[in-house]
Amino acid sequence: MWEVFGERGRLAEPLLWLASIAVGIVFCKSVYDNMESSFSQIKVYRALARRQQIEWSNRGFSTAHAIVVSTIAAYLLVYSDFFSDAAPYGPVVFRSTIFSQAVLGFSIGYFIADLSMIIWCYPDLGGWVYILHHGLSIASLALALHSGYAHIYLYLVLFSEFTTPFVNLRWYLSTAGQSGSNAYLLNGILLFLTWLIFRVLLFVYFFTHIYLHFDQVRQMHDAGFYFLFIAPPLLALMNLVWFRKISLGVVKAFKKKQK
């Protein structure tokens, strides 16, 4: 079923990398433009400041990317046998296909597009934490794309994008003046639960998998090996910091609702 690239993850063609990155950038630009044109006639959107309108559309392609990559990650990690230890595709840390590389390239395109907007509108779309997050993400994806190594770990991280639509919906509701609504409270609860599962517990599994497969991990090239112990811990730390803020936000919403 899977055309695996070599014993240790053969490099995909550079044309594939560039094409998939370009598709990711064009996808983001298309969603952004469609968001602007679709919402331009809506009263709530027109009442927003230009900065908020930009963020509204920016969060649109963020949500679209999250839905695409988390769905694909769920398929590869949960429904298929591609990353199963029992599957006869070679060491799991070195498994790579044309499809898995193309999706990573697509995500690089998204992060490039989003990072460009963050820098262009700095600090309106996010401060240095977002720049650090996106920089680490681009570097991690690029290393995996170039080497063919550690795709399972990149897809575990992409799986955590399942939380992004809830993050963006919270912002939409708040911006639209619905922070006291039942929808806002329900979304906050779902955000708390999904963040706990996909941004906290999933990272526990992430590091446990590295520990159990360390005999394979230590055979990676030096850049990938050391980056695996730099980027994921930093991302996990940021996830915990944001989880604390989300938890406090849910508590605040409950108290506000009871008044």
What are the φ and ψ backbone dihedral angles of 21, each rounded to 5 degrees? Answer: -65, -45
Cα–Cα distance between 9 and 90 in angstroms, integer? 10
Half-sphere exposure of 233 (CA within 13 A, CB side): 6
Mean local confidence (pLDDT), 52-73: 97
Torsion of CA 117, 127, 54, 19, to 10 degrees: 30
Residue 158, pLDDT > 50, answer: yes
Is the pTM here over 0.85, yes or no? Answer: yes
Give the pLDDT score at 9: 41
The share of the chain scoring above pLDDT 90, in percent, equals 77
Residue 179, pLDDT > 80, answer: yes
Mean local confidence (pLDDT), 64-82: 97
214-223 pLDDT, tens digit each: 999 999 989 9
Torsion of CA 145, 147, 148, 151, to 10 degrees: -70
User: DSSP string covering 9-28, please?
Assistant: TPPPPHHHHHHHHHHHHHHH
Residue 37, classed as helix, strand or coil, is helix
CB atoms within 10 A of CB 65: 24
**Where are the strands (E) in 77-181, listed by range?**
none
